[in-house]
Structure 1
Amino acid sequence: MPQFTRRVFKVWLLPTSLASYSPVMEPAISFRFSDLPLEIALLILKYAARPTFSQREKYADKNPYATALSLCLVSRLVRRTILPEFLHTISLHRCDSMRMFATTLLIQEVYAIEKSDLFFDYTSAVQRMWISHNDLVEQRCRDSESKLYLNLLVPVLLAAPALAIDWYNLKLVVQIVEDVRTSCADLDADRRHALFPGKTQSLTIMGHCINWDIFKHVRKGSVFLASIPHLTYLANIGTEGDIFRDFSMGLVSPEHPLRAWMRDIPWACMKSLETFSVVYPHLDAPYDILTYIDDTVGLDLHVERLTVSASLFRQDPASFPWVTPPFPVTRPGEKSTPSNGVSFEVTQDRANFWQFFYMWDKVWACGLAD
C-alpha cells in the first residue's frame, strides 16, 4: 500500500490511577497511516472523500469535492473505493461544472471501449443530482451548448433517485427525453426501458414563483414526468418570503398559494404523483431583518416542508381538506398533520439563509430539503 502521508499517529495509554498522571508522559505506541490494515485505511479514506456542503463556505473559496479529487490520484484501488462516496451527490451549479462533468462521462465511455481499469459506472453511483445556473440570461444565450451537455447527462440523470433542477434546464431535459423516445419508437420494450429507467423518485424545482408556468411547454404523455412520485418546489424566498413567514407563524392558511402552484402541475403527465411539497425557511420567531437581507452574514434558520397528498387532491380538488384556523405552528424537529392530506415538518438542523438571490443547493445537498 502506498505511503499516503508521513504524519505519525500517536496512541496514548492512560494511567490506571489519576495519582500517577504525568503531563510529560511520552506516547507508548506510534504508527504511520500506511501501517493500518488495508480495510481500515480504506474506510478512513471513504469517510474523508465525502463532499462537505458547508453552509458557511462559498464554493468559490472551497470546492466541496477537492479532497475526493486529490484522493483519486493516490492509487487505482483508492480511486475505485472512494468514487461511490464522491459521486453520491453531484452539484452542477455552473455551466462550467456541467461541461466538466459531461466531459468526464465521455472519458468513461472511452475507458469502457478500451476495457480500461479506470472505467467506472457513474450511472449506478450517482444518487442525487443538482443542476442549476445562477445566470439564466447567460444560460439562454448558450442554449445549444447546454443541450449538448444535457444530452450527455440524461442517462445519469434518469437513473438518479433524486433530481433537483431549475425550471429552464427542466424544460430542456423534458424536450431531450421526448426527442429520444420519438427516435426510438421502433425499439422493443426492454430496450426502451433501458433508455428510460424511471428511477427518479423525487423531482425538486428550485426558485419557483406562484405566477410561473414552468410546465407550459410539456407535451402530454411526458415519459420523464410520468413515473415521478414526489414533486417539490424550493420557494423563491426573495419574492415571496412574507408568505412563508406567515406560514411559519401560523397566521394564514397555505390554501391560496398552494392551489396556484398545483394548478401548474401537469396532472395528465404526472400519473404517478403521490406528494407535492413546498420547502422554505422556518421564520416563526422574531429575527433580525437586517441580518436576514445581509448577504455577508445571513441567518441560521430551520427548514420547513409543507406537503400535500397529491393522490387525495387528485380525487376531489374542489373539496380537498385544507388547513383551517387555528393554523398550526410546527416546532423544530417535529411534524404535524393538521388535516387529512396536509402536513408540516421542520428540521432539527439549521441552514444559513439570506433573503435575496438565495441558492438552495447546499440545503438540498445536505438533505435538509428532503
Structure 2
Amino acid sequence: METIPRASFDNLPTELVLLILQYAAEPTFTQPEQYVTKNPYSTARTLCLVSRVVRRVALPEMLHTVLLSFRNVRAFVHALRMQAEYAQTDSCLYLAYTRHIRNIWIGHPISVPESDLDLLAPVLLGAPSLAIDFSSMDLVKRCVEHTWTHVDKNIDRQCSPPPWRTKTLTLSGMGIAPWHIIKRPSGSAFLASVAHLITLPHTQIDSNLHIIRRTTGVIGPQDYVLPRWMRHAPWALFKGLESVSLAFPHINRSLNLYDFITGMNLRTELLTFPASLVKGRRVPMEIKASAKTGNWHISLNDVRLVVSDSLVHFSVFHQEWEKVWACGL
C-alpha cells in the first residue's frame, strides 16, 4: 500500500505560508454547488481548527463576507457572545469581528432578542456593505435605533459622522411594503448616509416577469422594466445617494422557458445609473435602448451595464441571489 505524501511547509518562508493559508481560507462563493449542499466556508472552518496561529490567519478571511440566514444567525450571535467573553479575559482567541467584516448578508426574517442587539448592531452596521431581505428591514431599524440612542448625548448629531459605516445597501425580495424604518429620525438618518443602493429582484414578481417579457418579445432585447417598488420608495430621504444598481438575469429571446422552469444556470446583469435619475417628481418605469431620456424611462446610454462571469442557478421558484451578491456585484 502506497504511502500518501503529506504536505510540508518546513522549507517555505513564513510569508509564503501565510499567503497560502489566506488563499485556502477564502470562502468558495463561486462554487457550482448550492450553498445548502456545500458550505462555502467549510475549508476556512477546518483551518480554524488546526491551531491558534492558523486560526488567526483563516478567521479574518472567513469574516470578510458573511452570509447569515435563519439557520445560522443564532450560531453567529453565539460566536459574538464568546468573543465578548474572550475580550474580558484577554484570551488569545479574541478577534474583533467588526474590524474584519466588510460585507454582511441577512436573509429571510430572523428573530433577534433585544438583549442581543448590543452584540449584533455594531457588527451589522460596522460593515461598509450591508445586504438584507426587505422583509428583515425591521432588524435594521432596531439596530439603527439601538445605535442611535447609545451615542454620547454631548455629541452634535448634525455635525458628527453617523454611528455606522454602511455606505452600500443591497435590498433583496423587494415588494411594495411600507418603509417602517423612516418612522424614526434614526432611520431617516441611516437612509441619508447611504451612497450606493443595489436591488436584487423579487423572484416571483420581478425576476420571472423579466424573463417572460424578454423571451416573449414584450420588451426589447435591451429594454428593462423597473421594479414596482421604486415608485413608492422614499427617494427624498436618500440625501447622500450617488448611484442605483438593479440586477437582472442575463437572458435572450432564444431561452427555452421550459428549461428555466426546471432550473438552469445563468449569468446576471447589473445596471447602474446616477441616483439623480430617480429623484425627480416622476420615477421612471423603464430603461430603454434609446438616446433620449423621457419622463417615464431612462436611456440605456446613461446606464453602465456589467455581465457577471460566474453562473448561478435560476428556476421559477428558487434563485440564488445571495450567491450573486457574495460573488461580487
TM-score (normalised: structure 2): 0.82
- Amino acid of the structure 1 residue aligned with 2:259: T
Quote the Cα distance in structure 1 between the aligned partners of 2:327 and 2:64.
Answer: 12
Cα offsets for 1:209-244 (capped at 9, x unmatched) = 4xx225145225423222111111110233333542
Aligned to 1:338: 300
Determine the structure 1 residue equivalent to 2:153: 186
Match of 1:83 among 55, 59, 63: 59
Aligned mates of 1:363, 1:34 — CA distance in 2:
39
Greater shift, 173-182 or 223-232, is seen at: 173-182
Residue pair 1:220, 1:269 contacting (<8 A) in 2 also: no
Q: Could you list the per-position Cα deviations for residues 131-189 of structure 1 after superposition, in whole angstroms to 9, with x for gaps in the alignment?
A: 113xx5xx5xxx4x455555522101111111111112222211332244235462425
8 A contact 1:55–1:352 mirrored in 2: no
C-alpha displacement of 1:365: 0.7
Shift in alpha-carbon separation, 1:84–1:323, aligned structure 2, 3 A? same
Could you tell me which residue of structure 2 aligns to residue 116 of structure 1? Answer: 91
- Following the alignment from structure 1 to structure 2, what is the Cα–Cα distance between the partners of residues 319 and 117? 53
Give the 3 Å change call, closer, same or farther, for CA 321–240 of structure 1 in structure 2. closer
Give me the whole-angstrom Cα distance separating, in 2, the residues matched to 1:217 and 1:261.
15
Rounded Cα–Cα distance in structure 2 between residues aligned with 1:149 and 1:361: 24
Establish whether residue 233 from structure 1 lines up as the match of residue 199 from structure 2.
yes
2:78 matched to which residue of 1? 103
Deviation digits for residues 109-147 of structure 1 (CA, Å, limit 9, x no counterpart): 1111111221111111001111113xx5xx5xxx4x455
Q: 1: CA distance between counterparts of 2:247 and 2:323?
A: 14
Is the 1:238–1:358 contact (alpha carbons within 8 Å) kept by the matching residues of 2? Answer: no
CA contact (8 A) 2:313 2:319 kept: no
**Match of 1:26?**
none
Q: Could you tell me whether the CA contact under 8 Å between 1:171 and 1:218 is conserved in 2? A: no
Give the TM-score taking structure 1 as reference length.
0.74
Q: Give the structure 2 partner of residue 72 of structure 1.
A: 48
Q: Secondary structure at the match of 2:72?
A: helix
Following the alignment from structure 2 to structure 1, what is the Cα–Cα distance between the partners of residues 234 and 154? 27
Alpha-carbon spacing, 1:193–1:101, altered in 2? closer, same or farther (3 Å): farther
Matched, 1:164 2:134: no
SS of residue matched to 1:116: coil
* Residue 206 (structure 1) aligned with residue 172 (structure 2): yes
**Partners of 1:280 and 1:59 in 2: CA distance:** 21
Contact 1:237-1:280 at 8 Å conserved across structures: no
SS of the residue aligned with 1:352?
strand
1:35 maps to a residue whose letter is N
Partner of 2:5: 7
Aligned equivalent of 1:29? none
- Residues 121 and 361 of structure 1: CA distance in aligned 2, closer, same or farther (over 3 Å): same
Deviation readout 1:18-64 (Å, 9 max, x if unpaired)? xxxxxxxxxxxxxx333322222221111111111245323333222
Give the Cα–Cα distance (whole angstroms) in 2 for the partners of residues 40 and 252 of structure 1.
47
Residues in 2 aligned to 1:321 and 1:263: alpha-carbon distance in whole angstroms: 8
The 3 A distance-change label for structure 1 pair 125 and 320 is: same
**Residue equivalent to 2:220:** 250
Contact 2:243/2:274 (8 A) holds in 1: yes
- Residue 338 of structure 1 deviates from its aligned partner by 2.6
Once the two structures are TM-superposed, the CA of residue 318 in structure 1 deviates from its matched residue by 3.9
Q: Tell me the residue number matched to 2:142.
A: 175
Instruction: Describe the SS at the equivalent of 2:237.
Output: coil
Gaps of 5+ in 2: 292-298
The answer to whether residue 103 in structure 2 is matched with residue 131 in structure 1 is no
Is the 2:31–2:40 Cα contact (8 Å) retained in structure 1? no
SS in 1 for 2:84: helix
Deviations 1:303-354 (A, max 9, x none): 112233213432x444979645659xxxxxxxxx7344x3433224332222
Indicate how the Cα distance of structure 1 residues 53 and 348 shifts in structure 2: closer, same or farther if over 3 A, else same.
Answer: closer
**Secondary structure, aligned partner of 1:33:** coil
CA distance in 2, matches of 1:287, 1:84: 41
Q: What's the Cα RMSD here?
A: 3.2
Q: Which has the larger radius of gyration?
A: 1
Aligned to 2:274: 309
Residue 62 of structure 1: aligned partner: 38
Letter in 1 for 2:264: L
Closer/same/farther in 2, CA of residues 325 and 88 from structure 1, 3 Å limit: closer
